[in-house]
Amino acid sequence: MKNESNSCAEKMRSIIKSAIDDYARFEGMRRAFQTNFDNQEINKLKIDGFEQRRERAREVRRRSFSDDSLLKKTITRLEANGIRVRIASTKDEALNMILEEIGDEKLIVKSKSNVTKEIDLTHFLESKGIEVIETDAGDRIVQLAKEQTVHPTGPALHLTRYDVARILSDHLGYQVEPNPDELTKAIRNEISVFISRASIGITGANFITAEEGSIVVVHNEGNITACARRPKKHIIVSAPEKIVPNLDEAMNFAKLQILYGTGSLNSSFIDVISAPSRTADIEKIMFYGMHGPKEVVLILIDNGRSRIEDKEVMYCINCGSCLLKCPVYDVLGPAFGGHAYLGGRGVCFSAELEGIEKGVEGGLTYCTQCGLCTEMCPVKIDTPRLMREMRYRAIRYGFLPTPEQEEMISNVKQWGSPWSEQPESRTYWLNGLNIPSDGPILYFAGCFNSFRAPEIPRAAIDILTSAGLNISYLGADEICCGSPFLKIGAKDVFMSLALRNTSRMKKTGARKIITTCPGCYNTLSLYSQYVPEFDFKVEHISQTIATLLKEGKIEFRTKSIHATYHDPCDLGRHRGIFEDPRFILNSIPGLKLTEMKFNRNRSICCGAGAGVKKTHPELASFIGRRRLDQAIETGADHLITACAFCENNFRDALKSSSRMIEIVDLVTLTRDLAIFS
């Protein structure tokens, strides 16, 4: 297992290096993602009750997966409508069923479907001598180029018109001009010939309704309608998670899927298929196959789904919105994910279906758990939580931790921190200050601040004591809060630290804990979920300083600087602390604050969190450089943040950047400018 782990680590390093070296390759994808994002922001304002629609969709997902009778009800209704339903337990069973349904046909026209990608349907059929034509323009381009899909609704977004022109010219044997009209005409003409010849079409399904027994498919090109109307048979390949209670809910899902998948308010087509094509207009004798297929067959594939305990991983509606601003996907593209499902959620789902090793190979250790994917998801899938649980499973089965993570675990067990530092050196930043070990307010410095950024806890103590607060400190008895270990999946290590910290904190007599580290703040705020005895109020120092300012206990000297502020993920998106840091900055006379385009709950991660800085430092620094560019584009000359870990990664990223900006910590800036009353 160790040799396999080392081999996997080497492969990951190679993937990251190649992605960074060839970063421009996916520039077209990034531009398209930005367009989608911008259109989302505009069009969601036009949807009445938009947030209520999201909440409704998530609740329907939760209820649907809790209702064991829904699948049986759906099958009963579908079969009553004349749609034949077959259940495949495994991938191989599904493939053989489809082959059986195809019979002697040697040409199949097919539309976009993640489930068919999951089971490698196209490759399987081709190996049996059956020609499979992808009829979606993007999928056809990817098929001809032998490329990997980069987005569920835009498979070929990474390819330029010149790339597509070259691919089509090579395939068709004549020169196709690189303009959209000529390119789409060439694709349409080629595909239409195959559609006219084919007797069987294969499609996926966006949603399957239990009440009506209907299949709902959403598309823009019209190709799905053409595939679904092949005269002999329409084969629908789908999975149980597509089932929704009724058409009303299907339409709500479709509205969200369209907005999040394309940025548009509507799609060109929404087809509702409830039965084979039929007529009884001649003597009331039923005839099947009038203007469409004589048979409609739905093959529902389990392929491990019924074993999945954490159903949230199946809430996904395949819009791909989680990919648009993912800092890891921005760099790695489809190398982050499974072969059919992309990004962080794709990693987790692939691990569930294909085994934990596939999750590790797909990038289980790449994710910074920043949570922006959850913010971008129409049903708010908590991918960071899924990632933590999947990493925990990977550790249980021996696929993790990485050697770098093993070092952290060994250190914390021996020294109480991720570094091999003596506990006594944790207090060097005190520099002679005598802070009592008990009292009403406990200051928690955290490992990184104590060992790598000692100026921050020193500044914090100066502020708190100068403002007249009675502060206590555990000193050498303080140990790691457990944040990195919870995030890398070392749950047992985390629990040990949480229990030990709680016990030591209880002895101080404190009722409130103030910390300067967002990671510590977020983790300590979660302690009560794991340790019921933990009953402290936890406060980040930005909240404390903001309160002191409002109470008139602090004023600021004038400082003439132009600044922008970076929201740390643990402080902002995970804990909702957005305004207190800004209140502090806006209280400084002479300071001009200009926001980055992506701020507050849409802030882009610095790239260092959840073990990525330790395990994949090149990836962390490259993501940090991308965020630095966004800061520099504001015109600000100072980048201010409230997280020493972010600050450290930005400083590393700045070393490889040709651009300059001064990086400043919020707490030290406060201490340097504060006037105490």
Residues 182, 127, single domain; the answer is: no
Answer yes or no: is 335 within a domain.
Answer: yes
Give pLDDT tens digits for 306-329: 999 999 999 999 999 999 999 999
At residue 280, the pLDDT reads 56
Give pLDDT tens digits for 638-669: 999 999 999 999 999 999 877 899 999 999 99
User: How would residue 277 be classed by pLDDT, with cut points 50, 70 and 90?
Assistant: low
Residues 94, 238, single domain; the answer is: yes
Residues 123, 242, single domain; the answer is: yes
Which spans in 232-308 are helix H? 247-262
Answer yes or no: is 428 within a domain.
Answer: yes
Residues 467, 586, single domain; the answer is: no
The residues pairing with 443 across neighbouring beta strands, listed in sequence order, are 473, 514
Residues 113, 163, single domain; the answer is: no
User: Is pLDDT of 1 > 60?
Assistant: no
User: Is pLDDT of 673 > 80?
Assistant: yes
Answer yes or no: is 638 within a domain.
Answer: yes
User: Is pLDDT of 550 > 80?
Assistant: yes
User: Is pLDDT of 189 > 80?
Assistant: yes
User: Is pLDDT of 481 > 90?
Assistant: yes
Q: Which of the listed residues 515, 530, 546 is the one where a domain comes to its end?
A: 546
Residues 368, 474, single domain; the answer is: no
At residue 543, the pLDDT reads 98
Q: Tell me how far apart the alpha carbons of residues 646 and 606 are, in angstroms, rounded to a whole number.
A: 6
CATH of the domain at 228: 3.40.50.10420
Answer yes or no: is 53 within a domain.
Answer: no
Q: Which of the listed residues 272, 307, 342 is the one where a domain comes to its end?
A: 307
Structure tokens that stand for 534 in this block: 């933990």
Answer yes or no: is 51 within a domain.
Answer: no
Residues 218, 192, single domain; the answer is: no
At residue 289, the pLDDT reads 57
Mean pLDDT of 436-462: 96
Residues 564, 640, single domain; the answer is: yes
Residue type, position 428, single letter:
Y
Total tally of structural domains belonging to the chain: 5
Give pLDDT tens digits for 207-244: 999 999 999 999 999 999 999 999 999 999 999 999 99
The residues pairing with 554 across neighbouring beta strands, listed in sequence order, are 676
φ and ψ at residue 149, rounded to 5 degrees: -60, 140
Contact 60, 53 (CB under 8 A): no
User: How would residue 11 be classed by pLDDT, with cut points 50, 70 and 90?
Assistant: confident
User: Is pLDDT of 401 > 70?
Assistant: yes
Residues 281, 393, single domain; the answer is: no
Rounded percentage of the chain residues whose pLDDT exceeds 70: 97
At residue 279, the pLDDT reads 62
Structural domain harbouring 523: 416-546
Answer yes or no: is 55 within a domain.
Answer: no
Whether the bond between 401 and the residue before it is cis, its omega within 30 degrees of 0, is yes
Mean pLDDT of 491-513: 97
Residues 275, 226, single domain; the answer is: yes
Mean pLDDT for the chain overall: 95
Mean pLDDT of 378-405: 96
CATH of the domain at 491: 3.40.50.1860
* Residue with the two structure tokens 């195959």: 194
Answer yes or no: is 647 within a domain.
Answer: yes
Residues 128, 219, single domain; the answer is: yes
Mean pLDDT of 146-173: 94
Residues 180, 212, single domain; the answer is: no
Answer yes or no: is 481 within a domain.
Answer: yes
Give pLDDT tens digits for 21-59: 999 999 999 999 999 999 999 999 999 999 999 999 999
CATH of the domain at 315: 1.10.1060
CATH of the domain at 607: 3.40.50.11810
Q: Which of the listed residues 498, 528, 546 is the one where a domain comes to its end?
A: 546
**Residue 355 buriedness (CB in 10 A; 0-12 / 13-18 / 19+):** middle
Mean pLDDT of 240-254: 97
